[in-house]
């Protein structure tokens, strides 16, 4: 049974089940403006999908969806609509996991890749004694997150553009759906045609970002990770890379869940890791 705190929080934020985003946009903005949003979002979605599939010259994987992200986060109203469609069930699953392992949320908390701040604000309200920081590359997303925190009167959370992180370390790092954007992947069409990489090769692919995550965590601090992976060699490589960076899995915290992500089903791996004592 879903924790009442999750239901109350999502209701307060305005996250609700939406079956058709197009219909919701027209109901919210009216026919003409709604159709314009649908048209613009479709074009940006197709552009980002093309970049992910075929690559885009020298554009890093991390930036191939940024125009779509900025458009969706042009306002809190738009952001909440999109989140309701794409992440309604996902948020419920993640929040349930965060509550299950509440004991690992201590001291200063960093949500890296916080997006519109829905999960960061949830953490801030759950842990009023902690200071929560949310970082994201999208200034539009940061602006929405700040507005959301204000509407919730969450005074122990603040947000900043990712490039303004300042090299701090934290007691607890939350990384949710960040790895695929930051690890060097070949265009998806090349990935699909290539022979699967071994765990050793996948470990090498993930090493640089694993070190980046590790650098944010204080000695004996925690990383809580939620990533879109099958339980395969790619995820095994990520785990090995984290271990090599000093982050070891906390026994009994690994969990897999699947949910509808927009129009598709997606599988996610979750786990808690502890930083080695320096």
Token duo for residue 135: 């970082």
Going through 45-156 in order, the beta strands assigned E by DSSP cover 109-112, 132-136
pLDDT (tens digit per residue) in 163-215: 655 678 999 999 999 998 899 778 878 887 888 889 999 999 999 999 999 99
What does the alpha-carbon distance between residue 177 and residue 179 come to, in Å, rounded to a whole number? 6
Token duo for residue 222: 């925690």
Between the CA of residue 111 and those of 10, 62, 76, 150, 198, what are the distances in Å?
18, 17, 19, 17, 30
What does the alpha-carbon distance between residue 66 and residue 58 come to, in Å, rounded to a whole number? 15
What does the alpha-carbon distance between residue 130 and residue 114 come to, in Å, rounded to a whole number? 17
What does the alpha-carbon distance between residue 223 and residue 243 come to, in Å, rounded to a whole number? 12
What does the alpha-carbon distance between residue 132 and residue 118 come to, in Å, rounded to a whole number? 12
Domain range list for the chain: 4-275
Pairing status of strand 132-136 against strand 157-161: parallel
For tokens 């303004």, the residue is 164
Task: Quickly state the pLDDT bin for 80 (edges 50, 70, 90).
Answer: very high
- Cβ contact 160:142 at 8 Å: yes
Q: Look at residues 64, 29, 33 and name the one whose alpha carbon lies nearest to residue 47.
A: 64
Task: Quickly state the pLDDT bin for 262 (edges 50, 70, 90).
Answer: low
Identify the pLDDT of residue 184: 76
- The larger pLDDT score, comparing residue 233 to residue 278, is at 233
Q: What is the average pLDDT across 76-103?
A: 96
For tokens 């000695």, the residue is 219
- Cβ contact 236:270 at 8 Å: no
Q: What is the average pLDDT across 96-110?
A: 94
Task: Give the least confident one: 95-104, 174-183, 202-211, 260-269.
Answer: 260-269
CATH value of 4-275 in 2.30.110.10, 3.40.50.150, 3.90.420.10, 3.40.50.12280: 3.40.50.150
Burial call 123-146: b when 16+ CB within 10 Å, e when fewer? bbbbbeebebbbbbbbebbbbbbb
- Cβ contact 141:166 at 8 Å: no
Task: Give the least confident one: 113-117, 155-159, 189-193, 197-201.
Answer: 189-193
- Residue 185 falls in which region: left (phi positive, over 0), alpha (psi -120 to 50) or beta: beta
3-state SS, residue 46: helix
Instruction: Give every CB contact of residue 126 below 8 A, 6+ residues apart in sequence.
Output: 5, 98, 99, 102, 105
Identify the pLDDT of residue 164: 53
What does the alpha-carbon distance between residue 138 and residue 127 come to, in Å, rounded to a whole number? 25
- Residue 257 falls in which region: left (phi positive, over 0), alpha (psi -120 to 50) or beta: beta
pLDDT over threshold 80, residue 112: yes
pLDDT mean across residues, the chain:
93
pLDDT (tens digit per residue) in 215-226: 999 999 999 999
Identify the pLDDT of residue 28: 97
- The larger pLDDT score, comparing residue 153 to residue 277, is at 153
Quote the pTM value: 0.94
Task: Quickly state the pLDDT bin for 48 (edges 50, 70, 90).
Answer: very high
Identify the pLDDT of residue 90: 95
Identify the pLDDT of residue 91: 96
Identify the pLDDT of residue 146: 98
């Amino acid at each position: 049974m879903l924790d009442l705190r999750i239901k109350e929080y999502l209701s307060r934020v305005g996250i609700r089940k939406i079956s058709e985003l197009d219909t919701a946009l027209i109901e919210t903005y009216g026919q003409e403006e709604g159709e314009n949003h649908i048209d613009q979002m479709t074009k940006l979605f197709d552009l980002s999908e093309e970049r992910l599939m075929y690559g885009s010259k020298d554009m890093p994987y991390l930036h191939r969806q940024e125009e779509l992200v900025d458009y969706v986060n042009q306002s809190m109203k738009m952001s909440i609509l999109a989140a309701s469609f794409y992440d309604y069930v996902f948020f419920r699953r993640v929040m349930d996991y965060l509550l299950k392992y509440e004991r690992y949320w201590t001291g200063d908390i960093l949500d890296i890749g916080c997006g519109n701040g829905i999960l960061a604000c949830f953490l801030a309200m759950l842990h009023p004694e902690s200071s929560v920081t949310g970082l994201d590359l999208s200034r539009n997303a940061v602006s929405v997150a700040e507005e959301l925190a204000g509407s919730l009167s969450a005074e122990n959370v603040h947000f900043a553009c990712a490039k303004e992180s300042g090299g701090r370390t934290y007691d607890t790092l939350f990384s949710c759906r960040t790895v695929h954007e930051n690890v060097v992947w070949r265009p998806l069409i090349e990935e699909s045609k290539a022979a699967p990489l071994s765990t050793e090769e996948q470990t090498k692919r993930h090493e640089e970002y694993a070190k980046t995550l590790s650098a944010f965590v204080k000695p004996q601090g925690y990383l809580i990770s939620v990533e879109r992976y099958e339980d395969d060699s790619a995820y095994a490589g990520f785990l090995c890379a984290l271990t090599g960076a000093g982050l070891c899995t906390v026994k009994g915290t690994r969990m897999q869940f699947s949910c509808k992500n927009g129009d598709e089903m997606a599988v996610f791996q979750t786990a808690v890791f502890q930083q080695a004592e320096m």
